[in-house]
Structure 1
């Protein structure tokens, strides 16, 4: 997946980091750790970093829910981080096609932890969740 395929995002002027892991709950910690490290790089507060880490964990868990670990060898969880002042956008895509309704508790959690949450489907049928956090002030670190 190329970063330029991100729906509605201009990745020409941003730093883009892509990570792809097997679609298994066992690998969510890798994505969560990457999110925290990149959030620190863009100078988010410790509280905002922790909120993003939890939101990324929840988004990944939603996208791999129901995926059996044997299928994880052929399906992947893709995570693209777009670092562009003053925000960090995280788009996670996975094999799940039936996300919970927006009224579900998981959506409430995601909405409370980040500045915006969107969802959609790529042309290849993969479902994506996009999380955005914005930094209040300061320069890129």
Structure 2
């Protein structure tokens, strides 16, 4: 398991922090990502409810990806912290890339817990789910 942290300055918008975590694509390691998610969200002063929403959303996104991951490969997660927002991108190697069904219960959970959710298949045999959560953003009722 590796963890990298980098900080970059982005013009007038201030400092942007990026934390990358790579771990085996196995559910036994998801607790590491849940802990990292909570710690980074706390750093942005998210509320306890917002932190829990993010932890559950990251866990659900990973579960969706792990079902398609090539055994023995890695899951990578990139956390980008900018001001009052966190973006989380979780990604795995797959055999082919079938985007998640957007009418599936798991997808509905993701969209309820995060402000923005997208599935990305930039490369064949690679899939990512990207979540964005803004501090203090009201969720639809």
TM-score under structure 1 length normalisation? 0.80
Larger strand percent: 2
Alignment partner, residue 114 of structure 2: 114
**Is the Cα contact below 8 Å between 1:89 and 1:132 reproduced in 2?**
yes
Q: RMSD in angstroms over aligned alpha carbons?
A: 2.2
> Match for 2:28 among 18, 26, 35?
26
**Structure 1 runs of 4+ with >4 Å offset:** 10-13
- The whole-number CA distance in structure 1 between the counterparts of 2:120 and 2:84 is 23
In the TM superposition, what are the counterparts of 1:18-57 in structure 2 within 5 Å?
A: 18-57=20-59
Alignment partner, residue 16 of structure 1: 18
**Is the Cα contact below 8 Å between 1:62 and 1:99 reproduced in 2?**
no
TM-score under structure 2 length normalisation? 0.80
In the superposition, relative to structure 1, how do residues 11 and 113 fare at CA in structure 2: closer, same or farther (>3 Å)?
farther
Deviations 1:20-62 (A, max 9, x none): 0011111111111111110111100000000000000000111
Please identify, of 91-100 and 80-89, the stretch whose mean Cα deviation from structure 2 is larger.
Answer: 91-100
Structure 2, unaligned runs of 5 or more: none
The question of 1:100 aligning with 2:105 is answered no
In the superposition, relative to structure 1, how do residues 93 and 112 fare at CA in structure 2: closer, same or farther (>3 Å)?
same
In the superposition, relative to structure 1, how do residues 11 and 19 fare at CA in structure 2: closer, same or farther (>3 Å)?
farther
Shift of residue 122 of structure 1?
A: 3.0
**Is the Cα contact below 8 Å between 1:14 and 1:82 reproduced in 2?**
yes
**Is the Cα contact below 8 Å between 2:65 and 2:127 reproduced in 1?**
yes
Shift of residue 124 of structure 1?
A: 6.0
Larger RCO, structures 1/2 (Cα 8 Å, 6+ apart): 1
